[in-house]
Amino acid sequence: MVKVKIEPGLYDRARRAAAAAGYSSLDEFIADCIEKGIQRQKIEEQEGPVSDQLRGLGYIE
């Protein structure tokens, strides 16, 4: 495991968001956010035409 530093304000907001979304811990929430961020970056790189079509049809923003 490694440690990452974040601002106290962001920490508090993340803690509230994790609780609201039903995560069992802040660690789980942050790990999920990072996974999603990496996945989103990959999708945006590889799925540009699909995203454009879905956006045109009104299924994503």
Partner 1 sequence: MPSEIIVVSGLPRSGTSLMMQMLDRGGVPVVTDVIREADVDNPRGYYEFERVKKIKDDAAWIPEARGKAVKMVSQLLYDLPSSENYLVIFMERDLDEVLLSQEKMLERLNRSSAPRDQIKPAFVRHLNQLRVWLAAQRHIALLDVRYNDLVAHPEQQAARVSAFLGGRADVQAMAAAVDPALYRNRKPSGEQSV
**Positions in the binding site for partner 1 (CB under 8 A):** 17, 20-24, 28-29, 32, 35-36, 39-40, 43, 46-47, 49-54, 56-61
Residues 6+ positions from 54 with CB-CB distance below 8 Å: 60
Minimal distance in Å, beta carbon 61 to partner 1? 5
Nearer to partner 1, 8 or 56 (CB): 56
Sequence-ordered alpha helix ranges (H) in the chain: 8-21, 26-46, 48-57
Minimal distance in Å, beta carbon 10 to partner 1? 15
